Structures are given as C-alpha cells and as structure tokens.
Copies of this chain bind each other. A is one copy, B any other.
Amino acid sequence: MAILFSDSTYRADNIFAALQSVLPDLRKFPDTGNREEIEYAVIWYPQAGSLRDLPNLKAIFSVAAGVDGIMNDTTLPDVPLIRTVDDGLTQGMVEYAIYNVLRFHRHFHLYDRQQHGSEWKQHPQIRPQNRRIGVMGLGEMGRAVAEALVALKFDVRGWSRSPKEITGIKTFVGEKALTDFLSQTEILINVLPLTTETRGILNAKTLGALPDGAFLINAGRGAHMVDGDVLAALNSRKLTAAALDVFTPEPLAPESPFWKHPTVTVTPHIASITDFSAVARNIINNIKLLKNGQIPAGLVDRQRGY
C-alpha cells in the first residue's frame, strides 16, 4: 500500500516531511513511482489532475478541516473524500476566537495604541451579557466557538446554511435570515467553509448590514472576503476594526494594505494550526475504518462542499 501526497502551496515540503514520519510509503507528487500501488491520497491544495490515473485509489484525505482546495478539480476521482476532524484544530479556533472577541470587547486594541503614547485612559467595560456576538458557520468549529462564548456570558447568535440547535444561542438559517442576523451582530466571527455559496460573503452588502462600528474576525478563508469591500468598510468606520487570519493569496503579499492598516490585526493563518503527526495518525485510523466498511468522521458531501 502506497500513499500519494499532493499539495501546491508554499507549505508542501514541511507538511510532507511531517506526514512522512508517521505514514509508511508516502510519495510526493509528481514522484508517484508505480501508480498501481497507490491506494490513498493525502492533499491540501493538490496540483490539478494529480490524482488522475490512479487505478487502485480508494480514498482521498484532506490534511485540513476545509476541502475548498479540491472541490473545483473536475478530474477528482469519485472515491470517498475525508477532511480532518481534530480536537486540537477546534480548540485552536476557539482560542483564536475568544482572544479576538475579548480584544475588541475590552478595548485592548485601543490600550495597545495608548501604550505607544504613554497614555493612561480607561474605556467603559460593557457586561458580556450586553455584547452581541455573531458566529457565521456552525459546524464543529463554529459550534465550539459559540459554546465557549456562551460560557463567558456573551449574547451569542449563530448563522448557518442548514438548521442547527445550540443551547443558549439564537440561530438563523439560510440566505434570507442573513441580513437579520448581521443587523444584530456587534462582533462578527466567520468560520464558514469556503464553498460556491460562501465565496465573497464578506462584501459591501453584508458588511453594510452590520451595526455601525461593528468588528470583524475572519478565521474562515481569505476568499470569503471581497478585500476592497472590507478595506472600504474599515476606512468609512462602518467597521471599527478587524482581526484577519486568512488571505488571498497566502502568504499575504508584503505590499498588501492589510499589513499597515491602523485598525487591522494580521496573523499568518494561525487561528488553528494543524498538528500533522496527529493528522497522519488520524489517517491511519480512518484507513482501518474504511477497510472495515465503516464511515470515518469528516466524510465530505460533495454536493454541499464540506
């Protein structure tokens, strides 16, 4: 049994090395060796067509929670596609979201600026019960983020494509409820999967539906944002500030206006960092499940795209 790794990003070599320490006979595209030996593929953003002509391919594993890197590849073989579901990934996202919510909620972005001018000035402390947070996307990650915010006593709302029930939060479903959801959201956290429907969802229209002076936290994908619309909303003070972890393309270009924008916090796609040896161990477990005819967690519905 051989496994083929295919990724076209700047991180491919590092990911390959980390996976190789756990997975036996892992090959890196285009060095496939005998293509008949390859039974599984591991990908993030694979080279187009790299998974064609693998006659014995049984399944494809994404090293990430998202599979947006592969859904546009029309040459993708019709085998089970399994994304990564990992406690560590979810926990990382919860930490990123909580940190940035507290940063805006308690004005730490202002205190940081004041420190540069040795300025001692307090800002009002709002009770979390009076702070309305909106979570876009209520999968494993969004649900965990919403629950952690409820535990901290925030007033939490959630929006998703399909109906979800989460104790202590009001949920909104589908396109029609989006404006209503946004109009009640002071701090918006995006953890949606990237699909045809969600691409560009952070645009002039949706940002315009937020209350004036709202905050944006984007930990989904860079392509959820229409970059110019986000910048315009910041410049007009529609958005007070934004914490952005994901960009198009990555790494974020040195000349991007996001780096130097006074009300933008840039982090280098670290909201939830994959532990690739954990991913590799997970893949080994999932291969066992598939061999036993069981369905692993993270099986992707290709119609929905996640």
Contact = CB atoms under 8 A, between A and B. Distances in A.
Interface of A: 88, 91-92, 94-96, 98-99, 102-103, 105-108, 111-112, 114-115, 118, 120-125, 127-128, 148, 151-153, 250-252, 254, 259-260, 265-270, 272-273, 275
A252 B120 contact: yes
Contacts of A120: 250-252, 268
Given A127-B88, A152-B148, A105 B114 contact: no
A118 B269 contact: no
B273 A111 contact: no
A125 B270 contact: yes
Contacts of A259: 115, 118
The 7 closest A-B pairs by CB, nearest first: A120-B251, A125-B273, A99-B102, A118-B259, A120-B268, A111-B267, A118-B254
A275 B125 CA distance: 8
B270 A128 contact: no
Given A95-B106, A102-B99, A273-B124, A114 B268 contact: yes
A278 to B, nearest CB: 9
Contact of A123 (B107, B112, B121, B270): B270
Contacts of A250: 120
A265 B272 CA distance: 24
- How many copies the complex holds: the figure is 2
Contacts of A121: 268
Nearest to A271: B106
B95 A99 contact: no
B151 A151 contact: yes
Contacts of A275: 125, 127
15 contacts: A92-B106, A95-B106, A95-B128, A98-B152, A99-B103, A99-B108, A102-B102, A108-B267, A112-B265, A118-B254, A120-B250, A121-B268, A122-B273, A125-B270, A148-B152
Given A108-B267, A120-B250, A122-B268, 16 more contacts: A95-B102, A95-B105, A95-B152, A99-B99, A99-B102, A99-B108, A106-B270, A107-B270, A112-B112, A114-B268, A115-B266, A118-B259, A120-B251, A122-B273, A124-B273, A125-B272
Contact of A122 (B108, B254, B270): B270
Contacts of A112: 112, 265
Given A118-B254, A254-B118, A275-B125, A94 B268 contact: no
Given A99-B103, A99-B108, A122 B269 contact: yes
Contacts of A148: 151-152
B111 A268 contact: yes
Contacts of A268: 111, 114, 120-122
Contacts of A252: 118, 120
